[in-house]
Each structure stands twice: as structure tokens, then as C-alpha cells.
Amino acid sequence: MTVEQNINTEIMDKLTKVCLCKAIPRSKIKKAIAEGARTVAAVKRVTGAGSGNCCGRRCTPKIEEILGDYQEV
């Protein structure tokens, strides 16, 4: 990945909300994973994602996908 692609990814990670109810960006989810959260429950506990009105119905699949991407690398 080029430096420009890295910067674009970082910008998009800050702008893209994974948990819409709590306005938690993808960057915060990735940071939690990088700092050791390895399960959906751990990511939710650290970030506060999943505690909104939909009780994680919308963000849980997205968190699982990001965790999956992380484990593939």
C-alpha cells in the first residue's frame, strides 16, 4: 500500500461510523483491536459500541468483519 493509500484509509477510518447509534468510527474499533481486543465483546467493552438503541444489531456484523480482516493479516 502506498503512503497516499494509507492516508486515505486513515481518513476514511475516521469518517466511517461502525456503530451508528454511538457514532463510533472504524478508527476507534481498529485501535481497540490493535491494543488487544480480540473478540466482539472485548471491542464493544473498550469502545462502547453496541450499547446504543439497536443493541448492536447493526454494528456487531461490522465489528466481526473488521476482526476477521485483522486476523487474516
As measured in angstroms, the least distance from the Cβ of 22 to ligand FES is 6
As measured in angstroms, the least distance from the Cβ of 32 to ligand FES is 14
Cα–Cα distance, 51 to 63 (Å, whole number): 13
Residues lying near ligand FES in the complex (CB under 6 A) are found at 19-22, 49-50, 52-54, 56, 58-59
Other beta carbons less than 10 A from residue 19's beta carbon:
26
| Residue closer to ligand FES (CB basis): 9 or 58 | 58
Distances (CA, A) of 2 to 6, 11, 13, 26: 6, 14, 16, 20
As measured in angstroms, the least distance from the Cβ of 37 to ligand FES is 15
